[in-house]
Structure 1
Amino acid sequence: MRTQVAIVGAGPAGLLLSHLLSLRGVDSVVVENRSRAYVEARIRAGVLEQDTVDLLVASGLGDRLREHGMRHDGIHLQWPGERHRIDFRALTGRSVWIYGQTEVVKDLLGVRGDDVWFEVTDTALHDVDTDRPRLSFVDAEGTPRVVQADVVVGADGFHGVSRPTIPAGRAWEREYPYAWLGILAEVPPSTDELIYAWHPRGFAMHSMRSPRLSRLYLQVAPGERVEDWSDDRIWDELGVRLGLDGWSLGTGPIVDKGVTPMRSFVSTPMRHGRLFLVGDAAHIVPPTGAKGLNLAVADVAVLTEALGAFFAEGRTDLLDGYEDRALRRVWRCTHFSWWMTSMLHTSGDELDQQLQLAQLAYVCSSEAAATSLAENYVGLPHDTGHTA
């Protein structure tokens, strides 16, 4: 097969890149080792930044988002006896949307699904340091395939084949001493906007996926077994950590639960020859700042602009500047995610506890501090390098 861009990974980053390139008349092929059903069902992020929403709408993917997405103009920060709202619209004029990654992927597969090879095996990249890189794989029927491309993009996550293909560079990593026990429950949300709660027993969060589905999290130990958490135990602990006089937590059937470890990871380079990395293949952030999916979308926005200029005009300057431009945002979001995580998760250290409470009180009483949180949370504008 011959294409212009070969993309490894049919998550939101790979599918969005394929879609945006198609709007520019650039051909692509996407390969994915999982089934389409698995990709469509993965429960991941649910908060979309302003620029992520604007990009999806501008690319023709806004119909279901407008119908089912929930615009949020703020979040609540809470600690025992206190709950304060950070007003994004008043502080920045921008908002976020609640619209699950599963829904974003369904929208993307609706326009790009026919260009994806699902359930492939033995994926490998070849000659990426030349101007004729190749992608080889075995399709779902067992037939070996080779794709000749001009550019290869690795959107296949931390454990994919793309990142190890790049010669060893440098990586920064932190494993956090806690994890999240997350649940999806068939119960209307008990809050109008997300609640981030600090509690001596550990962090808790109340989010949602729709007017009928709630998404909630508890801080637990990294090695915690989900089997040790019955539904009753989960609801009881959420009730304690999210408890506030005059407010009650609705409960209902839990339809999904799992434990997610938390880490920060950034690796460089994000490019080697004609191979470019986007999303989790190059960086991972803890979910506290709601940045993972949005960072991947920002990478894609920058790379789309660079590839568009390359194929339309033969320009290489934006491709050469891709890594520096992407990394500026990566490090800003990595810091914000670390800061939110450090402020809200308990360690058992009494000094840390007092420092966290002081920081929370400051953010909720200082307009400057609240504005800093708000502008990072709603997302900084995409820096694509486009000057027209």
Structure 2
Amino acid sequence: MPHEDPARTALPTSRPSVVLAGGGTAGHISPLLAIARAVVKAAPAARILAVGTATGMETRIVPAAGFELAVIDRVPLPRKPSLDLVKLPRRFAAAVRASEGILARAEADVLVGVGGYVCTPMYIAARRRGVPIVIHEANTRAGLANRVGALFTERVGKAFAATRLRHSKLVGMPMRPEIAGLDRAAARTSARASLGLDPDRTTLVVTGGSLGAASLNRTIAASLGVLASAGVQTLHITGRDKAVAGPDGTPLAAPGYHQTEFVDGMETAYAAADLIVCRAGAGTVCEVAAVGLPAVFVPLPIGNGEQALNARGLVEAGGALMVRDADFTPGWLEDTVLPLLADGTRLAGMAHAAAAQGIRDADAQMAAMVLAAAGDGIQEGTRA
């Protein structure tokens, strides 16, 4: 898949001021930070400001990553008639004014939006001030904010080919370089050793994400006997404060079973795994494709079906399986997952198919787009 070479993109001659908006969930914050880091790598003099809300996890994650954060009020769209709906126009207008103030103080040359409540007022503010807009859409079903923003720009990147969004082009999912650059085969032995796993044993990794997944946890806890009998070791990442207890109330223990609430750096878990069972958040789907890891996706059963849509392309390409949450039972695991883990040829084929769908340079592609837009913004400011 031919990609634009960022090294050939004309960078602005001044010190570009890049404002990035998004937050609320890790699905928005992770690509935002990946884009910010790629911009700084391509243009070390760039000034970076992130914008979120005071109630999102960005208040912790963005400063911890070394970037400045500004906040505006969260203005969600009420889903049914209420007093909040009556207050919406006034609250939204105030958020737009606050957004204009942030862009003015930052002397923004470009606004980058990745979705979330904060983006809509920021897009309107940028449009009013003539600040170029760049968008990244992480999900197969584009969010409302990015659908609005795409009316104001032709610079729109998307993580999934199936996403329908005005002016969008496929760039993939911006991700941390530790994941994008992972060589699973080369890192496998050291990754397993660092996680306390047997370096030579077939390895299943199970994770429900940072918040955990109770249904996945229950099925794995009930399947430890058949997994051990098949010679499979299991790394079970339960989620923070979601430790699985045994009959005596202490953390569940069994031969070949390794339980932890989280792994600091999922690239280690990806390298250790022969197969991963996980939810189908956009970031997870793109990461396992990028590193060529066979997967069993168990989409979140609530919401608008977004996770199943995210996983569909990789499943159709042969890089993954997908099962409904209600059907991910001990019986299904025994009948489907165990034979797959025993079939090295099939796993190798799935790994190859996944890698063929993966895109590892999305951050650089987005940085090139951002810096090209910033150059336009600087030229517009010079002419003004």
- Using the size of structure 2 for normalisation, the TM-score is 0.35
Pick the structure with more helix per residue. Answer: 2
Q: Hey, which of these two has a bigger chunk of strand by percent?
A: 1
